[in-house]
């Protein structure tokens, strides 16, 4: 007898996402499971600093406030909730939720998942957490939990765990698990799959996108959609964009299964409905990723505003005047960036101005502060004409460093802790396969020669970019077969380096995904030591894809 599809919605893509999304997802249409993703690499650092101040902290307090408002509503509607809002302290959040439920008189069974915390093995890290899979969530739901709190699990586990519980999938049901992992990856960033941050945002009304849901079937296929009447839109483009986000090659590895992204097939099933099928899965790798978050030191910055004429000479003068102070204090890292936002004969003072940004980093807060603060302020009456800064420099603030490590799958004590205190251990996978790159598939035949026009790449291609530690990824896709024949041959790794000068001295890996008419580029080391270190203007590479789309190259006129 066929098992009914499982409707899983998501109400959070990060810590700080739309507060009202939980209520909206519960009231705008039917659901079986509601998930919330609150964790990112940067969030773990933030929660780690919170816990230094208060050992009882370390979880997403926003979620507790959302549950105060909506826990009763979820119970009335029979919706179970799964979230990684536990952060560094899943047990603490679970206890807080039990107390909240008692106070509200809502009879819910709260469980949590633990085993991800490896901090005792990394005493020099502020937080060290393994990315667990979904079977701890599965165990908690199978034992009757209404609300499951986790710490660091993979984002997709919030969906694959409930799907395995609902359908009774075994750990070696790789194709089905892979389908759920892909669905989970599509939901994890909330409104990014319903038109948010979308290259072709003018295709629909994205002023307030609704949050997404997936109808998952017993065979692992799924339909991504949203509640009727909510904003935004879902089509094969929005799904492709999110599928490429923060991924790399054809193999998308997780603790439970490696999903083959090169097998994914997207089919528009109707308005705001895209079916995901064909997903193949393989045994997971033998190791788990561990996110290590450390305090890297202290950071300080000042931005000088240069207005009108002689911008380059004014910038040279500031650098020369600051040189003695920097030479005396000798901060470990000094970076100057001149951003030419000015234009000739500008109609406003702001559009006549450029920005010269100085950033210093050092292990010593006094050095990071002293190097800028006093010297920069002293230039107020003895600097370039029109001297002013966007804000006075401060004392230096701490910044973090993210590093990925790996441990054997059996090195963690993955455990579901049930509402009655029982502990259910989760066994590591029986079979594993070392991760290897998939050979590049054959490219389509190139377009025949014809007239071309120099135009922005974005006239024919979409893109979405993001970060993974110190690496940036840029997914680029097109919407027609002819455009794919051109893109696959034109946008090589070498061409990418030409269009994105920051990448010219860095390793750039190109991955080809013909089913999606897509290329995925990984720029290794572009983001330095990760987002918390703020090594560049756009520290998470969120707009790197849009920069690429704005670059001009010769495009066949038949595509324009």
- C-alpha gyration radius of the chain: 25
- Predicted confidence at residue 486, as pLDDT, reads 98
Cα four-point dihedral sign 231, 235, 237, 241: positive
- Predicted confidence at residue 394, as pLDDT, reads 84
Other Cβ atoms closer than 10 A to 162: 27
- DSSP states of 476-541 as a string? EEESSHHHHHHHHHHS-HHHHHHHSGGGTTS-EEEEEEGGGTEEEEEETTTTTT-GGG--SSSTT-
SS3 168: coil
Show Cβ contacts of residue 472 under 8 Å, excluding neighbours closer than 6 positions: 465, 466, 522, 523, 526, 527, 541, 544
For 289, the enclosing helix (H) or strand (E) is strand 287-307
- Angle, helices 157-167 vs 174-187, to 10°: value is 140
Other Cβ atoms closer than 10 A to 365: 16
Structural domain boundaries in the chain: 6-291+405-425, 298-401, 452-559
Report CA-CA distances (Å) from 38 to 12, 42, 115, 517. 6, 11, 18, 31
Name which of 546, 513, 537, 530 is nearest 472 in CA terms: 530
Measured distance CA(204)–CA(195) in Å, rounded: 8
- Predicted confidence at residue 25, as pLDDT, reads 98
Q: Where are the alpha helices (DSSP H) in 271-418?
A: 311-329, 365-370, 373-378
Q: Mean pLDDT in runs of 10 for the chain (560 residues)?
A: 92 97 98 96 88 92 97 98 98 98 97 97 94 98 98 98 98 98 98 98 96 98 98 98 94 98 97 98 98 91 96 97 91 93 95 95 88 87 95 86 94 97 97 93 96 98 93 96 98 97 96 97 90 77 96 97
- Predicted confidence at residue 445, as pLDDT, reads 97
Measured distance CA(31)–CA(80) in Å, rounded: 9
Name which of 488, 473, 487 is nearest 440 in CA terms: 488
Instruction: Tell me the CATH class for 298-401.
Output: alpha beta
- Predicted confidence at residue 285, as pLDDT, reads 98
SS3 405: strand
SS3 139: helix
Measured distance CA(199)–CA(457) in Å, rounded: 12
Judge whether 99 and 59 are in contact, CB under 8 Å: no
């Amino acid at each position: 007898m066929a098992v009914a599809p499982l409707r899983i919605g998501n109400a959070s893509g990060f810590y700080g996402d739309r507060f009202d999304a939980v209520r909206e997802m519960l009231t705008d249409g039917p659901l079986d499971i509601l998930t919330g993703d609150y964790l990112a690499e940067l969030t773990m650092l933030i929660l780690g600093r919170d816990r230094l101040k208060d050992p009882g902290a370390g979880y997403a307090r926003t979620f507790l406030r959302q549950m105060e408002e909506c826990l009763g509503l979820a119970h009335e509607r029979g919706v179970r909730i799964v979230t990684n809002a536990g952060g560094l302290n899943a047990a603490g959040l679970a206890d807080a939720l039990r107390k909240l439920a008692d106070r509200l008189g809502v009879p819910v069974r709260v469980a949590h998942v633990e085993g991800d915390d490896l901090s005792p093995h990394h005493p020099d890290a502020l937080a060290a957490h393994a990315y667990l899979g979904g079977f701890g969530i599965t165990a908690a739901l199978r034992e009757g939990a209404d609300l499951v709190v986790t710490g660091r699990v993979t984002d997709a586990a919030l969906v694959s765990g409930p799907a395995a519980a609902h359908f009774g999938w075994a750990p070696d049901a790789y194709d089905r698990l892979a389908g759920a992992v892909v669905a989970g990856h599509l939901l994890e960033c909330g409104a990014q799959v319903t038109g948010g941050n979308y290259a072709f945002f003018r295709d629909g009304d994205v002023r307030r996108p609704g949050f997404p849901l997936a109808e998952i079937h017993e065979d692992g296929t799924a339909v991504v959609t949203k509640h009727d009447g909510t904003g935004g839109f879902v089509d094969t483009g929005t799904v492709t964009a999110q599928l490429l986000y923060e991924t790399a090659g054809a193999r998308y590895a997780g603790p439970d299964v490696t999903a083959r992204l090169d097998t994914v097939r997207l089919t528009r099933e109707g308005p705001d409905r895209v079916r995901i099928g064909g997903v193949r899965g393989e045994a997971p790798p033998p190791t788990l990723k561990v996110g290590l978050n450390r305090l890297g030191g202290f950071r300080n910055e000042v931005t000088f505003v240069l207005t009108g004429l002689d911008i380059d000479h004014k910038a040279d003068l500031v650098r020369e005047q600051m040189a003695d102070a920097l030479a005396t204090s000798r901060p470990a890292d000094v970076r100057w960036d001149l951003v030419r936002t000015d234009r000739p004969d500008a109609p406003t003072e702001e559009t006549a101005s450029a920005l010269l940004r100085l950033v210093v980093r050092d292990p010593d807060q006094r050095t990071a502060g002293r190097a800028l603060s006093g010297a920069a302020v002293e230039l107020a009456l003895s600097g370039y004409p029109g001297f002013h800064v966007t804000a006075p420099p401060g004392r230096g603030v701490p910044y973090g460093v993210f590093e990925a490590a790996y441990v054997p799958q059996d090195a963690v004590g993955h455990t579901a802790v049930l509402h009655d205190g029982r502990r259910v251990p989760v066994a590591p996978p029986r079979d594993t396969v070392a991760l290897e790159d998939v050979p590049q598939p054959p490219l389509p035949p190139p377009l025949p020669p014809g007239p071309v026009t120099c135009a922005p790449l974005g006239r024919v291609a979409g893109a979405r970019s993001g970060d993974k530690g110190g690496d940036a990824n840029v997914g680029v896709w097109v919407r027609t077969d002819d455009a794919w024949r051109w893109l696959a041959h034109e946008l090589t790794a070498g061409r990418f380096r030409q269009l994105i000068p920051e990448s010219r001295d860095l390793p750039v890996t190109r991955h080809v995904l013909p089913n999606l008419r897509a290329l995925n580029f990984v720029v290794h080391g572009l983001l330095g030591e990760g987002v918390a270190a703020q090594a560049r203007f756009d520290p998470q590479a969120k707009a790197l894809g849009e920069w690429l789309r704005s670059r001009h190259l010769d495009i066949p006129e038949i595509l324009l």
